[in-house]
Structure 1
């Protein structure tokens, strides 16, 4: 007897001799962790969504205090019945500005609108320059006051930035802090989103005034609201799974117990996360369903094994002991493969993916306890014969009479070498096509608007309105220029920045750009009656100082000592190809223009964050797959001690992973923070099918059966459970197609595909490979 089998036998004796103690222990843990689970909260933070160690993000964090972060709020107040120049509109705009200003967590020095003192105009008069706030301190919204403000708006050059091109809207902008100033704790962006909706939109959207809000916090709030629907899908999935398991087992007890044990695993997972201080991010709220699905998968295998032995005359306790003994190794190896596969996601330097990895690996590790130990122990107390249990009638009859049903005879043919050759040729062709088209898989978002939400969502409609009515885009990137103190009056520095801006403005996808030199050129021409030929960087330092005196640091175009200045690029959208094109062009320009005096650094702003995230995802893709498959290969080797077995399990998984990437290119789904983990999750879950089938096959092959006989035995022992599991999980996940969250729809499509196709690969490609690897059997 092998050492591991000896350990399993001793463990079996210990567990089943102390069944009551085992149940009491699980009950106490369930009560404690159930209470802890009730304390878990939704937890979303901007910094969790970005790779903080990426060089772009190091630049972003270094200069965030001077130029604000990428966690912005943009509120566009619009008049549906004309332009903005009426009392009702300015009263509403002032109210929105003040409400946003006093929301805890808003960086008050960076709240910007027509009512901000920093929003100023400058004009040329007979005596030189004159200027002041666009909205005077003594502003009254009557005909004369509105006329003054309209003139000031035109002089200030804020049309397209703070005021819509057609004068139908005006913008209020703000930057959010990282920590709540009142509590000192991490800023609750979901609470911010609630205040934006309830205190601003609901209060001021009336009497022809509409309020349009975008920004990371608002997007996360909308995702969190949509994520509440996940509970509904979870309940639907439980109902569907319960029906399918009952149709499989024909026993109420054998239906309730695996469902209950899988739910206990979810409760333990949530309880442990809460105990460890983790919350549940809206983007990873789908993990509990995956834990439930994996638990049901192994629970079905357990009750399948128990049901067969009970039908052959064993008592419930004997059948449960047998099921534990034969499934402990393949089930444990499969779940360890899942766990290690999920842990490999920790290699990705993005907080939200690492939290997902922790949550998923915890949940799957718990299933080893709940579905491989607790489930057979509970079943051992039930008189299953009193329930008149029936394993699937045709399959059971075949098992007892050795008469194979037509389905098993058909599937057995996949292990015959002539049919297997056809299967492998078809698989090779599909793999070749999949590999070719998977090379076209794009990194990043492929659609305009917030990719987590549908195009018709209020958030994305607000985004489209703001993009359409303003000259600037909500998708902007700040390239940071580091130089020496007081460099704002150095013509060489300013000309270098101006050259960089000119190069970037001529890149497809860049809508417009602004920097200190571009504003100083406009001011300089103002000294010469606006003559365009004087819109230049003057070589005279005194002229530059004169122009600079009209630009305060509150504009965000320079820091206090003028040693750091951004060049802000407004992009048409945040599609992956647009970001890649602009970033690549910026890198070329930076390599050309960087010198001892001026250093350009990428990048801040929302697009800077997206660019860093896309690069982090691209860099992590290949290592993650190597780690996942490396873990599966090692654990399969430890389980079967056979290269043939490893090849038989891993090759179908790799083919399906490649086909899944092909599917992503066909459906125009990019590789993002939300879709990257799905590939690892799919591999982790898909390995279960192959390990269960091959565990029976290797036993029969060792006993002297040929491949066809071994595969038929595996089908009769495990086949129906594998088929039912694959179909059940796919149906449960397919309900996500109707989610309010776009990223959940994408994940649902990919997981449905991987659940089904991994199952089909395990019952077709695996035996076909085995037919050629095990040519002769002693």
Structure 2
């Protein structure tokens, strides 16, 4: 069947090339119109309990797209007209920002921060600094005193040293455009930033806005990597076809993938450019293998008019099986990610599977078809020949594989895999370091985040809800209030939780105010009737929206908002475990607790999904790979044999992630899944060439020597080129891209080493029947030579 496919493609080469190029032109129009953006809702596993709580209450208690702005002075305090005027200007200006939730803007200059007072005239609740700034020094001093005696403001919104204050604002998840919000918020801050006050801003809209901000730099790195790839291919392969055809294969696969995804309505996530580069590297790899095999055949054929056609047909026929198996393995291993309930990963899976599948057309078929058109295939484009240096490496691989050193290679590989596997048990799920792992620690965003966390209770928030929709006024009851108060004291014992807030923190202010500010009464009432009276008094002086941070309109549900100083996976898991511990040990007669909303609640859900599914996903991907190899080669031994390089590359990669503190999160999971297929591609070409040589009567030694000097040359060329190209990503301003580029380089290095040294040694020792057939037993009795002449 493979021979017939190869014969048809070369015989009808004009039609095949014409159809492929015509479809490429059509799909290029759609590819140019694909959307490049981050959609927050795609990151949420909608069926998870925490996400359902988040979706239900986010409009009341705050969503996960909150932005925090800090105004900080170096000398004196913030109670200066110039400083507070900046706070007021930004607070009012935020109303005009796209997708803003105008009921979730909170600062000293907003109507939400109030002081409750009691006098002979009654109880009043008035904003601290709204609608106007203090008019004189006495008014400014009174504002300062009001802040100092209000624990809901002093600490949460004004720092303990009085040198900083916060503005917080939330955005509507369904409408938020990170790039637009990023530019509008920065433009608003620029209007008031005259250098006298340090202004810092953090939040997911700002974080992903920075990702989009660096998109031009990312494109420059892509072009630089492409240039390095082309130059190295030109130097090493010494032909224009060795440069142009791998480039064309990568371009055609990208156009097809992006065009098809545009037709399917799938957008392009900026952070997955790393995945795109990884897949494009596979296109280059497959194409270089075919070009290299074409060049080998050309050297064996005499010059003639049909030389290129014959060599192209042989290259296509001989490499069709390993090429297709590599494509299918990559696609199948990536498809496993679609089992995750996270829409972003599902859409990325579709994009990746489509992209990988297009390699069948762009590399496996189009490259040999175009090779068949070459009229003068014997010429070289330049006199520099670097291949003898690479052949020395291949000679070493031959000597190692066919001598007793092969046992040392296999033994050391086993020891390394076991050690790396044990070390990888410490791999973190979720973010592994403070700040955002997407950016470098010295990036402005991470510096701003660290500065805010140092002065305040924490940037990132989680809310836990206590209530029952069928029980209005439940939160006014003594049991609910006491439960909230106890819960807050319990959870604040965790060092990473900087503070908490609930309606149980507001009522003590009312209680103290009724007794002329006596601090002895700065606590909840000791009876349900007293707490109910305090709640009624607070409600009577509140305006619509004042209580929305703490309870819904019917007081059926109340929230405890927790402030976190970091978003590391271990911090979130500890907090969730402690919350569940408290709930289990403090049962309620009415109402129930609901976990967990806000950004940290959403991240907890994502981390739990990854934690529960990662091991299963890796195991399933390995199973898929084994089944594919078993079907193609009709041997269970093949399935087990090809798992060896995959296990080696993945264990070493996971060990590297553990060492460098790279957590397994929503951004790194797709790269890890695709790496399972990446780890075996090179081995397919080596093993299949050995099988081919054995089939024509070669001895095992000659077959391995030929495989290494033919397919092995393609492996070492593509690996060296792509390793250097991917290392360029270390210059990226996005830490995630830099680390994933380094991760890809390690994957490629280990995969190449496994294909050149481990697989030939394993094949020679095990003599699997699917490669050697019945000759395997006979070959085992052949006296092994003591020395080998390099090919």
Question: Which of residues 163, 183, 188 is equivalent to 2:177?
Answer: 188
User: What residue number does 1:414 align with?
Assistant: 400
Query: Against the structure 1 CA distance between its residues 468 and 396, is the aligned structure 2 distance closer, same or farther, given a 3 Å change threshold?
Result: closer
1:371 Cα offset (Å): 0.9
The number of residue pairs the alignment matches comes to 758
State the secondary structure of the residue aligned to 1:286. helix
Task: Please list, as runs of the form range in 1=range in 2, the aligned pairs for 1:173-322 lying within 5 A after superposition.
Answer: 173-180=168-175, 187-198=176-187, 200-313=188-301, 315-322=307-314
8 A Cα contact 1:323 1:376, kept in partner: yes
User: What residue number does 2:6 align with?
Assistant: 12
1:120 Cα offset (Å): 0.8
Question: Which of residues 32, 38, 41 is equivalent to 1:38?
Answer: 32
8 A Cα contact 2:116 2:513, kept in partner: no
Q: Give me the whole-angstrom Cα distance separating, in 2, the residues matched to 1:382 and 1:93.
A: 70
1:544 Cα offset (Å): 2.7
User: What residue number does 1:475 align with?
Assistant: 460
8 A Cα contact 1:78 1:211, kept in partner: yes
State the secondary structure of the residue aligned to 2:377. helix
State the secondary structure of the residue aligned to 1:384. coil
1:735 Cα offset (Å): 0.9
Q: Give me the whole-angstrom Cα distance separating, in 1, the residues matched to 2:206 and 2:761.
A: 52
Please say which of residues 701-710 and 22-31 is displaced more in the overlay. 701-710
Task: Please list, as runs of the form range in 1=range in 2, the aligned pairs for 1:361-440 lying within 5 A after superposition.
Answer: 361-385=353-377, 387-388=379-380, 407-416=393-402, 418-440=404-426
Task: Please list, as runs of the form range in 1=range in 2, the aligned pairs for 1:731-770 lying within 5 A after superposition.
Answer: 731-770=724-763
Please say which of residues 369-378 and 527-536 is displaced more in the overlay. 527-536
1:323 and 2:315 aligned: yes
User: What residue number does 2:166 align with?
Assistant: 171
Task: Please list, as runs of the form range in 1=range in 2, the aligned pairs for 1:470-509 lying within 5 A after superposition.
Answer: 470=456, 472-483=457-468, 484-509=471-496
- What whole-Å deviation, never above 9, does each CA across 1:623-681 have from its counterpart, x for those lacking one? 21122112211221222222333322211211221121111121122111222222222
Query: Against the structure 1 CA distance between its residues 448 and 14, is the aligned structure 2 distance closer, same or farther, given a 3 Å change threshold?
Result: same
Question: Which of residues 433, 437, 446 is equivalent to 2:432?
Answer: 446
8 A Cα contact 2:106 2:113, kept in partner: yes
Q: Give me the whole-angstrom Cα distance separating, in 2, the residues matched to 1:109 and 1:361.
A: 43
State the secondary structure of the residue aligned to 2:358. helix
1:391 Cα offset (Å): 12
What residue ranges of structure 2 are gaps of 5+ in the alignment?
Answer: 768-775, 780-791
User: What residue number does 2:659 align with?
Assistant: 666
Query: Against the structure 1 CA distance between its residues 386 and 655, is the aligned structure 2 distance closer, same or farther, given a 3 Å change threshold?
Result: closer
Query: Against the structure 1 CA distance between its residues 756 and 534, is the aligned structure 2 distance closer, same or farther, given a 3 Å change threshold?
Result: closer
8 A Cα contact 1:310 1:384, kept in partner: no
Please say which of residues 22-31 and 685-694 is displaced more in the overlay. 22-31
Task: Please list, as runs of the form range in 1=range in 2, the aligned pairs for 1:50-199 lying within 5 A after superposition.
Answer: 50-126=44-120, 129-137=123-131, 139-157=133-151, 158-180=153-175, 187-198=176-187
Question: Which of residues 533, 541, 546 is equivalent to 1:554?
Answer: 546
User: What residue number does 1:343 align with?
Assistant: 335
State the secondary structure of the residue aligned to 2:562. strand
Please say which of residues 687-696 and 482-491 is displaced more in the overlay. 482-491
- What whole-Å deviation, never above 9, does each CA across 1:574-595 have from its counterpart, x for those lacking one? 2222222211111111112233
1:139 Cα offset (Å): 4.3
Name the TM-score, length of structure 2 as normaliser.
0.91
1:282 Cα offset (Å): 1.8
1:405 Cα offset (Å): 6.1
Query: Against the structure 1 CA distance between its residues 686 and 138, is the aligned structure 2 distance closer, same or farther, given a 3 Å change threshold?
Result: closer
8 A Cα contact 2:507 2:534, kept in partner: no
Q: Give me the whole-angstrom Cα distance separating, in 1, the residues matched to 2:168 and 2:385.
A: 67
8 A Cα contact 1:520 1:548, kept in partner: no
Q: Give me the whole-angstrom Cα distance separating, in 1, the residues matched to 2:688 and 2:538.
A: 78
8 A Cα contact 2:67 2:170, kept in partner: yes
Query: Against the structure 1 CA distance between its residues 137 and 248, is the aligned structure 2 distance closer, same or farther, given a 3 Å change threshold?
Result: closer
- What whole-Å deviation, never above 9, does each CA across 1:712-760 have from its counterpart, x for those lacking one? 1211221111111112111111111111001112212211111101110
Task: Please list, as runs of the form range in 1=range in 2, the aligned pairs for 1:492-531 lying within 5 A after superposition.
Answer: 492-528=479-515, 529-531=517-519
1:677 and 2:670 aligned: yes
- What whole-Å deviation, never above 9, does each CA across 1:301-349 have from its counterpart, x for those lacking one? 0100111111222511211111111111110111111111111111122
Question: Which of residues 557, 566, 569 is equivalent to 2:559?
Answer: 566
Please say which of residues 604-613 and 143-152 is displaced more in the overlay. 143-152
1:152 Cα offset (Å): 3.0
8 A Cα contact 1:87 1:142, kept in partner: no
User: What residue number does 1:460 align with?
Assistant: 446
RMSD of aligned Cα (Å): 2.4
Q: Give me the whole-angstrom Cα distance separating, in 1, the residues matched to 2:139 and 2:519.
A: 30
What residue ranges of structure 1 are gaps of 5+ in the alignment?
Answer: 1-5, 181-186, 398-403
Please say which of residues 739-748 and 250-259 is displaced more in the overlay. 250-259
Task: Please list, as runs of the form range in 1=range in 2, the aligned pairs for 1:530-541 lying within 5 A after superposition.
Answer: 530-532=518-520, 535-541=523-529
Q: Give me the whole-angstrom Cα distance separating, in 2, the residues matched to 1:394 and 1:69.
A: 58
8 A Cα contact 2:650 2:679, kept in partner: no
Q: Give me the whole-angstrom Cα distance separating, in 1, the residues matched to 2:132 and 2:495.
A: 45
Q: Give me the whole-angstrom Cα distance separating, in 2, the residues matched to 1:191 and 1:539.
A: 50
8 A Cα contact 1:44 1:282, kept in partner: yes
Name the TM-score, length of structure 1 as normaliser.
0.93
8 A Cα contact 2:475 2:557, kept in partner: no
8 A Cα contact 2:628 2:639, kept in partner: no
